[in-house]
Chains A and B, each alone.
Chain A
Amino acid sequence: MNFLQFFGKKTFSHGIHPPEYKETHHQETRRLPFPTQVILLLGQSIGKPATPIVHKGQQVERGELIAKADGFVSVPLYASVTGIIKGIELVLTARGTRESAIIIETALSSGQRQLAGHQCDIENLSRQDLIKAVWDMGMVGLGGAAFPTHVKMSIPKDCKIHTVLVNGCECEPFLTTDHRVMLEQINHLIRGITIALKCVDAPKAIIGIESNKRDVLEAIKPHLPNDSSITIEMVETKYPQGAEKMLATALLGVEIPSKSLPSAIGLAIFNVTTLAEIGRLLPQGQALIERIVTVTGDDLEKPGNYQVPLGTPLGHILDYAGFTGNEAELILGGPMMGMSAASLDVPTTKGTGGVLVLDKRATKGDDIMPCIKCSQCLQVCPINLNPAELGQLAAKRQYDVMEEKYNLNDCFDCGCCSYVCPSNIPLVQYFKIAKTLNRQRHQ
């Protein structure tokens, strides 16, 4: 039991309270018009990219399989528009790399109806078949991590799941997609939770939401099943409450052991939008081909939540949202963990929950100063690492010491340390680089 729980507060220790900027939370989800072309990256999730099964010039329908999974930690990809395959090319991604993508030119005159799948009788499917069905729909964690959902659902044999945690925290500032889904798709969500419970063979689920979403609490309560197999609880609004470890601690007072999965202590954790989409699509036998994206920030005439086909180029989204600025940062994801895109041609992916346009906001000036050992970063790191020391070691390129003595690999890039650092040291950046180099070294 942790110390904060002792005082009856549902939260975790450390973390930060950034301004919320969630102006779009009352905006109903609207459909974005189809772009003239979509750019579908083959690798949109953690794991191996999918293998294309279409060729240039081929006609495809919206919802048709265009690339199949390559191994277990990989998911298939479906066409997000009806149209003609323009090619399979290397394109620029938000990460700044060039990766393979299938480009489809949209047949704007067609009805763009999603291909009907096989109706799927959830009640009578076995656990294995359900997980297979989730895999077949190309589902990944939509909260941002984009980890293949079927992998997460395949619980190791020696683990027994006692509780499913449904993550509705959405702690990143600006983003409101989960919030909208929890208001607009309650039936889908409940059905998705039921499916997840069956997949991981667990008796109960808890939906965890941050205290800034009280309307969700009121809206969902009447729909919960009477047997209290699904409950909803409110936790403190604090970043990074939406991280799996932090949510487990806030709701149950347990710590997920370092270097272990939640299943090690009998938990399985899914994002609300992921489950709502499973609840919506799986019974129809349909695949994941679009997602809700919060489009928000500065210089936009129509910010809001949009249903966006996967692979839509940023330019199209900004165009429709009425971007009027001359200079901006374009961020895919939230402001804490997102990535800035270098071009309007960068496409959205399954993991893109937000498109954020910022003109020079809240920067402290770009001067990086030496660490003044103010200990702010230690006081906010939710993992209780020593970011100051890690930062100094990174500057000296002692990446191995960082890993062996200072638990570098427990850092999950939440960015709290960089957020508070008065010296503007790009700590998370250092840690990401160090982790990447260490991985390469170990190979």
Chain B
Amino acid sequence: MAKRIDVTGLTAFYGTHRAIEGISMHVQPKSVTAFIGPSGCGKSTFLRTLNRMHEVTPGGRVEGQVMLDNEDLYGPGVDPVQVRRNIGMVFQRPNPFPTMSIYDNVVAGLKLNGKFSRAELDEVVEKNLRGANLWNEVKDRLHKPGSGLSGGQQQRLCIARATAVEPDVLLMDEPCSALDPISTLAIEDLISQLKSRFTIVIVTHNMQQAARVSERTAFFNLAAVGQPGKLIEIDTTDRIFSNPSVQATEDYISGRFG
């Protein structure tokens, strides 16, 4: 079930280095929110605070509040493992488990949650591979290793793996940056379809992509190298690209820096 995210005053550290500072925003359910900004401004870091992956990095630490509907993700007694089961993630480089078959990759997350019958698993595999527009390409080799697929297919497999556990939110960190243009279009189509089921947050360095797939866009920036990244503004994608309220956003969009 898609949920909304409310972030208040979020600051993230790597050891003593303050990577992002004072970020507050709302992410609407069943919509696509894009994060854009120059590289190093903390988009990935911020994304990873939303499913508590940031603290996996040695020295990673977070201050501030992230609410998923009414649940405080950083509240006392909240198990980060449980948070990650509800908030899926797709990475920059396709990373299917190389020792597992395509089939086992899709159900990998499901198997962590409990026991399922073969028929149930079959159904989940078909539903999510269809959902990832990959079913027709792989249905005859479900038990072959996922590493035998092309990069674009591998990324769609990773999306199927993430959606198979029916998460509340799907986070994507530059999911197309390692892919060719055709595969990129396939993934963008897929994102547009998936937003009927999930809340989607996507980091992209490609502004056309943000314009194509997202309803709302957040622009991040940093004052100087070594300074913490900050959220400059978040608005509907139309407004960000046509009439942003901050000059820095307009400079970035029109290619004057970054």
A and B from one complex:
no
